Structures are given as structure tokens and as C-alpha cells.
Structure 1
Amino acid sequence: MRFAVLQITLLVIAGLIGTLVRQLPASALRDPQAYASEMAQMHQRYDAVNLLGLPIGPGMVDLFERLGFFRVFAAPWFVALLTLLVLSIFICTLDRTPRLWRGVRRVTVEQPPAFFDLRLPERARFGHEDLGEGEVATVLRAKRYKIRRALAEDGSVTWIYGDRNQYMKMATLLTHLGLILFLAGGAVTAAFGFETVIFVGEGQTAPVQPVGTPGNLLVKNISFEAPRRPDGAFEDFRTDLAVYQDGQQIARKTIRVNDPLQVQGFVFHQNTFGPSADIEVRDEDGRLVWTGPIILAGEVAGLAQGFLTIPGSSIGMLLFLQSDSSGAPLLAMTGLGPTTAEGSSGIIFNVRLGVGATSDPVDTAGYAVTWTRPGEWTGMVVKNDPGAPIIWTAFGALIVGLMLSFYFPRRRVWARISPQDGVQLAMLTDRYVNGEREFAALLEELTARGGHRPQRGTGPGVGASAGA
């Protein structure tokens, strides 16, 4: 028990660390460049931390990274703790199951006179003339007790045993199973789950998984809408989304927040959106080298920003969405030349275009750039969670196990009937039952049938005598 408490305490502490300390996104754990970028942000965030005037930030970041505090839920030590907890619960369940089964199967109908001592809780006695065997059995059956009888060899004593919800004690195994499945489902999700964020411009197609993945899915943003209310607030944002595999469309749906598209185990959640710019780029011979939307998902000085490397060249273009004094949209483009020996890219042009305008190739390094139209991109969170069915099963097992345990606890009633001692009654219940109240209700029904109230003890924890 102490070991289980220690395990749970360590997991709770680890969970708090994973909640309070910023965690590296999954993409950073797969991409070295993304990892380096994220760790630079970690240093920027925590390097300024001081303790008693000492700058501990840089060393703390390095220590936290070595300990896995920036990736708690994927750290080997956290996985080991979870695995140990699963094994502990599993072994505990295996150990308890035979004892639980023996406990619910064992039925003792005959009990000695001392078992019915009125000084014990939930004990009572009716006079022999007040009640008969038939009345006791009838009342217990009406309360859904399963009845068993036994008769002394000399016929002087009759025992009646009533058992209700005999096997519900086994429901605790469902609760244990639910805990195991929860942890197993989380492990499956961590090991085999997939999650990424995809930005797709209108009319654009993007792969879901890394290029080269067999059976990879492609998503196409057929159209995006973000209508506004009269007060200017967004009323909704939705994407007409199509999913393709091996050149064939396999699904299409207009997705909204909380209304995702599900196909082949992947779930596409509408998450965010922003502006894009559809442009065409032609070389000095008039050949089209690029056409399509540029996603302006970045931000520089409050301006939406995107980037395009002109295909077949070493020229990159930074694009910024601006507006003129009248509020008309402008697309500012900054051309960047090849990287110099000093590691910087030289600026080779700066131009601004209105919607539908085309740049003079003389001003844009020999390329004619046309801003065909403004558009919008959609951002989706894409998940494939093979552990989800296991977790839902775990949730069901936990709920069912708890409901059966709390709402259908076991109750047992014994009656010993003899001419000398009358009708002696005893009740035992699980801890989730108010035994005194249940026993009092049973006695009221028996009193209504027999016409006389029972005798009860007056010891500690025992209801006061109701009279003979």
C-alpha cells in the first residue's frame, strides 16, 4: 500500500512539473531544427531567473533538459513510473481476484446463537408467535434477496439466509481494469499516436504525414469562410476540406470548431486561420514558375508575414500584408539574395503591389510578380490516436465499476427461527450502505406483517430497543 502511494505521489509530482514547466511540442522532438529553435526560446524564457541574486537561469535550463523536465510525458523515467504503476495494479488485481471470488461465493446459511447477540449492530428479535418463516421469506423476496434455507438435524431450528447483489463485489475488478486500460491507452498514444498542425491556403494541398510515408494522406483546402457579425466579431470559421489518398478523394466535409472530419483514424480539427496572398511569378521569358497562395502565418511589427523561395533560383521573398492611407490592401515584398560569406542575405529589392498589380521585372530581379488576389489560410490540428478506443473502454470500465460498487452494494440478512428464541435477525452490509437505515426499514415491514415490534439491543452503536 505504501509503495502504491509512493508511486502515485511521484506521478503527481511529475504531472505538476509537466503542467507548470513549458513542454517541448511533439514536432521539436522529431525535427532537430525545430528542437534547436524551441530550446532557444526556453533559454529566452528562463535565463533571466535569479535566486538570491545569482543568475541560475542558464544552468537551470540545461539541468531541466537533462532531467527531461521539458518533455516530462515522453521522458523514459516517466514512462518507467507509469509502467511500474500498471504492473503494480495488475499484480494487485491478480492477487485480489481469487480472494474476492472466494468471498462472494462463500455462503454460510447457518449461524450460531452468538451471531444474533442483540448487543451487536443490526440485530433484532421477534417473538415466536409474532412472525413465521413464511413472512420473513416473503419480505426478503420482495426486497430482491435471494433466499436459502437450512434446517437443524433435529428440526428445532430453521435458518433463512437472504443475499442481495451477491456478486457485485467483483465490480471492483472493473475499476482496476479501467485504471490499467487508462495507463495502457496513454502509453499506446504516446508510442504510436500522431499529432501535427497543418496550415493550408485556399486551393492548396498539403501532406499530412512526412513525404514518402506509405498511404500518406493529402488535405486540400477547397474554400475557407470566416463570416462576421454586424459588430465585426467573427460569427464562425469553417473549411471545406477534402482528403485524398493515392490520388482518390476518400472524404470531404465542411469542418468547424468542435465539428471535425474523421477518416481512417485521423481527425482533422478546425483550429485557426489567417490571411494569405495568391501570387504568380514569371521569369524573364514569361514562363510561370510559381502560382498559388503564400501563407502569411508569421508576424513582424504587427504585420502578417510569409516567405517564398522562387523555384529554380536562390532568391527568397519576404511578403508583408500592409494597407495604404485609404485602407486598401498592399502586399510588400522584400527580395533576399544569396547568403554572403558573412552569413547574411542581401536585400535586392523592395516593392509594394496592390491587388491585381504586377511588378516591373526590372524592380524584382527579372521576375514579374503578380498579386492575383488576397485569400485566407486555414489551420488544422490533425490527430491519429490509436490509444483513444482503449481509453474510452477504460472510461466505461471505471464508470460501470464505480456505479455497480456504489449503487448495488451487497446486503445479507440471516434469520434464525426456533420455538425457544423466536425469530432472531442479523444484517451485514457493504460499507457504502447505511446499514442501520436499511435494517430499520426491514424491521418496519416485518412489524407490519407480524403486528408486534421487535426487541433490539442498547449497546454502543446499536439502535435503542423498540420494545417487545
Structure 2
Amino acid sequence: MTDLRVQGAGRRGSGDLTEQPAQADGRRPPKPGSRLGPAGWLRWGWRQLTSMRTALILLFLLAVASIPGSVLPQEGIDPAAVTQYYASHPELAPILNRLSLFSVFAAPWFAAIYLLLFLSLAGCVLPRTFRLVGSSRQQPPRAPGNLARLPMVARYETASEPDAALAAAGRMLAARRFRLRTGNGWVSAEKGYLREVGNLLFHIALLALLGSVALGGIWGYKANRLLVAGQSFANTPTALDVFRPGRLVTPSNLQPFTITLKSFRASYVTSGPERSQPITFDASLQYAAAAGAPERSYLLRVNHPLRVDGVRVYLIGHGYAPIFKITSATGKVEFNDPVPFIPVEQSGLTSEGVIKVPFASPSQLGFAGVFLPSAADLGGRLESVFPAPLNPEVSLVSYAG
């Protein structure tokens, strides 16, 4: 068995034919260049990654991957809502947690999509930007000697002199914002750079956005703190309930501000189909940018964060902290403090909490309770029918030991 192939190239229609023997097992030998080495595969993979099609696919995947972060409660934003989701879906919540769907934006699979998209855009946009800058510095190409070689050619006849015709063509093209180049008996023009500039500016802005978010994850931090009206806290790791620093953030990088919650007010729709829906959440704050700095007042509302020393403080949740007073049989007050109760449902703000009295005598005491802001008997079962405290009741189970 033999194989015939053309070797070399001469004039059109000519070539040298040589015979090439088959391999011992009868297979045809591989064509030159059909096998890629490691470097060739790397170049091929880089070309695929930096293609615009791949960038669009990754951008779509990033958008789809962000949906669970908008639909499901997130640990870094509202841990109480995650706890509530566990209580409402005890079988589904552990599965979602194993998939990192309660911390989507910190999940390894989300970071992989994010990094690939960043590399794809950088590898696609930056070379195009350099080529555009280089092309814009050069003059348009010379007009070819034979215009028939161009893919599109139009012919016009005029009685004007050649120089006058070229001058008129140059004025017309210049009026349409073409870049011109003239020579002996010809004029060349090109345009389209502005369209490419707009395209590149969009992608560079997207690249800058991705980069800024990544830098924020490295040098930024997120923290949560639950405050009861009248309480204060300083911005230190030990005073925060949840502290998630970036990779390059240390406790010494935290801004030394203090915040006091003076009061909190919530209002709700009281009638109609939208009954129980929230209208306003207002937290009256007193804050100081540093120790010894003058205190200032601020009304913290949803989507209106407090900005202090480069940090944005958001209002992300609210609830109730009933005040409990526990007195022993001898009349000694063992406990007299507000206790935060965490909402487990939003329509009526039914909340759960725990009271600990470790220094009670003769034995320690503990209470697990449910707080109902507007309690109502619905078929023999107490439920909260409105989030405002219209008829507050609490149910407690006591423990001793």
C-alpha cells in the first residue's frame, strides 16, 4: 500500500509526486504539524481562552453563578437569615451548604469562573488595545496599483482633471471623518477606529470592574455586629460578631471608629393586600471616627450606608430584644437585661432566643424562648400575625443545672 502526496510547490498546476510507504501496522503516517507538543497545546489553549466567544460564555456563567447569591441568604451578609433558612429547610440547607450556596461569592468554583473571565478579557482586550494604538499612529495604507485586486471596487467617470478629482475625493472623505493619505495620482482613506475605541473602552471598564472587586476581596473586609438600642461597639475584631478579613488585612488595618445605636424605628403597611410589608427602617446612630474625635449623629436607613473613614456601614437586618428580669425566691435579681431574639420568619417576625443565667443560685438557669410581636390564637396555636409589637408575648422553656 502506498500513499501519494504533493511535495513542494512550483508553478500553478505543477508539483512533484513522491511515494511514501505506510507504517508497519498499515496506518498512515501523521501529517507534519498534526501533533502538538506541550508548547503548542498551551498556545492553543491560550487562544481559546482569550477568544471573545469564551469571554462571553464565561460572562454568562458568572451571571448564572451569581443568581444563588441573590436568591439565597448569604453568610457574609445576613447570618441570621441563613439560620432561619436552616430552620425552615432542615433537609435542603445542608446540601446547599456543601455546594457553598450560602457563601457563593467566596466559593472556589465562583472564584475559578471569575479568574478565568479576568484572564480571558485581559488576554483579549490588551493586545487589541496595543494594536489599535499602533495602527492609529500609522498612516492609511497606500492605494494598490491594481484596484481590481480589492474585494469591492466601484468605478466612476468624470470630466474633471485627475488632480481636481483627487482633491474633490479627499475633501469628501475628510468631511466624513476618514483618515487620509495622498500620493502621486492616488488618495487612500480609512476609518472605523472610533467604533473599536468604544468597544475596547467597554471591555476595559469591565476588566477594571473585575479587578477592583478582586482587590477589594484582598485588601477589604466584611464584618457584622448585632446591636441593641443603647449599646455601643468599637471596630475591633473582638467586638465584632462576624469578621471576614481579606487575605492581606490584619486587625491593625481596621479603622478605629465607634458606633452607638440610640434608637430604632420600623413602620409597616397596616391594611390592604400589602399588609405587614415594611415601609421604613430607621436607625439613629451616634458615631466617632476615632478615639477622642467629636461624636456625630446619623440616621442609618436601608441602602443609605454610613461612611466613616473609608468604611461603609449598612443596615442589613432588625429584630426584637425583650428585657427579661429573673428574680430568685429570696428576692435577689439574678438577671435583668435585654436579650436579642433572632427572627425565624419575616411576615410576623416570630423570633427565637436563649437566656443564660450562669450565676443563679442555687443552680444555673437557662431558658429557650419564642417571641411573638403580635400574638394571636389561630386554631389553638399561637402565631404572630403582624411584625410590629401590637400584642407581644413570649413562650419560655426553663432549664436548671
Q: Which category of TM-score, normalised to the shorter sequence, fits these structures?
A: 0.5 to 0.7
Q: Which amino acid aligns with 1:266?
A: V
Using the TM superposition, give the Cα deviation of residue 111 of structure 1 relative to its aligned residue in structure 2, in angstroms: 1.4
1:238 maps onto 2:282 in alignment: yes
Change in CA separation of 1:114 and 1:91 when aligned onto 2, cut-off 3 Å: same
Question: What is the 5 A alignment of 1:41-120?
Answer: 44-45=91-92, 61=95, 65=98, 71-108=103-140, 110-115=142-147, 120=152
Contact 2:140 2:179 (8 Å CA) reproduced: no
Using the TM superposition, give the Cα deviation of residue 238 of structure 1 relative to its aligned residue in structure 2, in angstroms: 1.4
Q: Which amino acid aligns with 2:67?
A: T
Q: Which amino acid aligns with 1:111?
A: A
Using the TM superposition, give the Cα deviation of residue 256 of structure 1 relative to its aligned residue in structure 2, in angstroms: 2.3
Q: Aligned to 1:222, which of 254, 262, 266?
A: 262
Change in CA separation of 1:228 and 1:110 when aligned onto 2, cut-off 3 Å: closer
> What's the counterpart of residue 343 of structure 2?
298
Alpha-carbon distance in 2 for matches of 1:323, 1:110: 84
Alpha-carbon distance in 2 for matches of 1:81, 1:259: 31
Aligned-CA RMSD value: 5.0
Using the TM superposition, give the Cα deviation of residue 217 of structure 1 relative to its aligned residue in structure 2, in angstroms: 4.2
Alpha-carbon distance in 1 for matches of 2:133, 2:375: 80
1:259 maps onto 2:304 in alignment: yes
Alpha-carbon distance in 1 for matches of 2:110, 2:150: 55
> What's the counterpart of residue 273 of structure 1?
318
> What's the counterpart of residue 127 of structure 1?
159
What SS does the aligned partner of 1:127 have?
A: coil
Using the TM superposition, give the Cα deviation of residue 36 of structure 1 relative to its aligned residue in structure 2, in angstroms: 10
Q: Residues 220-249 of structure 1: CA distance to partner in whole angstroms, max 9, x if unpaired?
A: 221222346674855433121233443646
Q: Residues 23-67 of structure 1: CA distance to partner in whole angstroms, max 9, x if unpaired?
A: 6833599x9xx99998898761278xxxxxxxxxxxxx49x83x7
Q: Which amino acid aligns with 1:236?
A: T
Alpha-carbon distance in 2 for matches of 1:289, 1:46: 35
Alpha-carbon distance in 1 for matches of 2:268, 2:88: 35
Change in CA separation of 1:92 and 1:257 when aligned onto 2, cut-off 3 Å: closer
Question: What is the 5 A alignment of 1:15-414?
Answer: 16=64, 19=67, 25-27=74-76, 44-45=91-92, 61=95, 65=98, 71-108=103-140, 110-115=142-147, 120=152, 124-128=156-160, 132-150=165-183, 152=184, 157=185, 159-162=186-189, 169-206=196-233, 210-211=237-238, 213-214=251-252, 215=255, 217-227=257-267, 231=271, 235-244=279-288, 245-246=290-291, 248=293, 251-279=296-324, 290-291=336-337, 293-299=338-344, 303-310=350-357, 312-313=359-360, 314-317=364-367, 318=369, 320-321=371-372, 329=391, 331-332=393-394, 334=396, 336-338=398-400
Relative to the length of structure 1, the TM-score reads: 0.51
Contact 2:349 2:373 (8 Å CA) reproduced: no
Q: Which blocks of at least 5 consecutive residues in structure 1 are unaligned? A: 48-60, 340-468
Q: Residues 253-307 of structure 1: CA distance to partner in whole angstroms, max 9, x if unpaired?
A: 112233222222332333443344345567767678644x333333599844433
Alpha-carbon distance in 1 for matches of 2:372, 2:283: 22
Contact 2:143 2:188 (8 Å CA) reproduced: no
Q: Which amino acid aligns with 1:19?
A: I
Relative to the length of structure 2, the TM-score reads: 0.57
Using the TM superposition, give the Cα deviation of residue 178 of structure 1 relative to its aligned residue in structure 2, in angstroms: 2.8
Alpha-carbon distance in 1 for matches of 2:324, 2:100: 44
More strand by share: 1
What SS does the aligned partner of 1:223 have?
A: strand
Alpha-carbon distance in 2 for matches of 1:94, 1:17: 26
Alpha-carbon distance in 2 for matches of 1:258, 1:204: 22
Alpha-carbon distance in 2 for matches of 1:201, 1:265: 25
Contact 2:236 2:256 (8 Å CA) reproduced: yes
What SS does the aligned partner of 1:178 have?
A: helix
Alpha-carbon distance in 1 for matches of 2:115, 2:295: 38
Alpha-carbon distance in 2 for matches of 1:196, 1:175: 33
Using the TM superposition, give the Cα deviation of residue 11 of structure 1 relative to its aligned residue in structure 2, in angstroms: 7.0
What SS does the aligned partner of 1:188 have?
A: helix
Change in CA separation of 1:243 and 1:331 when aligned onto 2, cut-off 3 Å: same
Contact 1:305 1:321 (8 Å CA) reproduced: no
Alpha-carbon distance in 1 for matches of 2:196, 2:59: 28
Contact 2:262 2:284 (8 Å CA) reproduced: yes
Using the TM superposition, give the Cα deviation of residue 132 of structure 1 relative to its aligned residue in structure 2, in angstroms: 4.4
What SS does the aligned partner of 2:131 have?
A: helix
Change in CA separation of 1:43 and 1:127 when aligned onto 2, cut-off 3 Å: farther
Contact 1:257 1:271 (8 Å CA) reproduced: yes
